[in-house]
Amino acid sequence: MENWKGWLENWYEEQVEVRHRLHRNPELPYEERETTRFLKEQLTAWGIQVEELPGLETGVSAVIEGAHPGPMLVLREDIDALPILENTGLDFASQRSGVCHACGHDVHTAALLYAARALNALRGELHGSVKLIFQCAEEVGSGAYKMLEAGALRDCQPQAVVGFHCAPLLELGKIGVRRGPSNASFDIFTWTITGRGGHGAYPQRCVDPVVVSAHLITQLQTVVSRFNNPTHPAVLTVGEIHGGTAPNIIPDQVTMRGAMRAFDEGLRQEMLKQIGQITRDCCAALGAKGEVTRDVGIPSIISDPEIADGVARAVEESLGQEHLHWVPEPSMGSDDFSVWMEACGGRGVQFQVGTHDPACPNSGLGIHVAENIFPDEALRYAAPVLVQFAVDYLGK
């Protein structure tokens, strides 16, 4: 195998420049046009085949065909930014007011781009192919589905998917890997409770959706406490409630929004059913009409143990054993990386790249925090693990 680690070393400054460029020009979900254009240009310039995704303006799918037959591995990262006003004081801070890369997706994108460059130069030695997915709109939970609908995996059956996420709670230089349940599923709901409005003095002529929604919120607490198996974590939160205009008027309608997170797919489906039933029946019992729609739904990430062991080996080979960190606990946070896993028969791992530099306290604040800094040095650890895993997976 050629000295790809040396190549990545040589490209490091360039990779940092790319990361800064992306960071200065963050783009919201489904608006990642500049990023998409830049990635397509760069990949094409290196001779990597970019695929057309009809009907999808943002996000990039590309493929590196190895010289020898073999399985297909998907490497997936995300490219979108968040509606947050950056407050890092970095000299490469966002130049778009109110939008910034507070989830580290600029680091993800730059790392995958240079991993792709190395793998393309190694294609003569690869047995199989690498599908590169630069996914749009991760933050709104629908980008992965949109790219699949547009045909990102059309005419191919990939065997596994690997990617990473920056981890501000993990020390810089560490790579976090986990087997089994890793990230929760995520379902967002909108409830509409329709009653019959009127004067607050004459409730007998009305159906009060405020009172009904209060009952509904209380009933919804039983979804996790009574319908979930308590040995499997789950949480349902109603985070918004809107209704009414005056203290003496009973409104016609109340709307609410909330989200559920869980790990076990069977229990998730059971609880989804229960949310529908409680909404209908609880509201009906009080004379109102209750409707619930699911706006977004992505499954949990259950890391495949074999792939996890493969990633751990890749960490040891490419960086050294001291860089490997077995993540002790799952997270209730979610990522639509899970959708790609589902498309690969569950065979996937999203590892963590530590970004907490003890010398820079603001690097440990957390994702989605306006002040959090993701150090450039994370790029020294991310791309090598991606390349090493791919090289091992597509070895003979």
Could you list the residues that contact Zn ion (CB under 5 A)?
Answer: 103
Local structure of residue 237 (DSSP, 8 states): E
How many CA atoms does the CB half-sphere of 206 hold within 13 Å? 21
Nearer to Zn ion, 253 or 352 (CB): 352
Amino acid at 308: A
369 burial type by CB count under 10 A (0-12 exposed, 13-18 middle, 19+ buried): middle
**CA 325/CA 323 separation, integer angstroms:** 7
CB nearer to Zn ion: give 283 or 353: 353
Nearer to Zn ion, 60 or 166 (CB): 166
Shortest separation between residue 78's beta carbon and Zn ion, angstroms: 6
- Cβ proximity to Zn ion: between 103 and 327 the closer is 103
Closest distance of CB 103 from Zn ion, Å: 3
Q: Which is nearer to Zn ion, 103 or 278 (CB)?
A: 103
Residue 37 Cβ, how far from Zn ion at the closest point, in Å?
22
Minimum CB–partner distance for residue 232 and Zn ion (Å):
24
Rounded least distance, CB 145 to Zn ion, Å: 16
**Cβ-based neighbours of 214, under 8 Å, separated by 6 or more:** none
* Contact indicator for 109, 145 with CB cutoff of 8 Å: no
- What torsion do the CA atoms of 252, 257, 262, 265 make, to the nearest 10 degrees? 60
Which of 384, 377, 380 has the alpha carbon at shortest distance from 314?
Answer: 384
Report, in Å, the least distance between residue 251 CB and Zn ion. 35
Nearer to Zn ion, 282 or 327 (CB): 327
Measured at CB, which residue is nearest to Zn ion? 103
Task: Extract the tokens encoding 263.
Answer: 């790990």
Terminal CA-CA length for the chain: 12
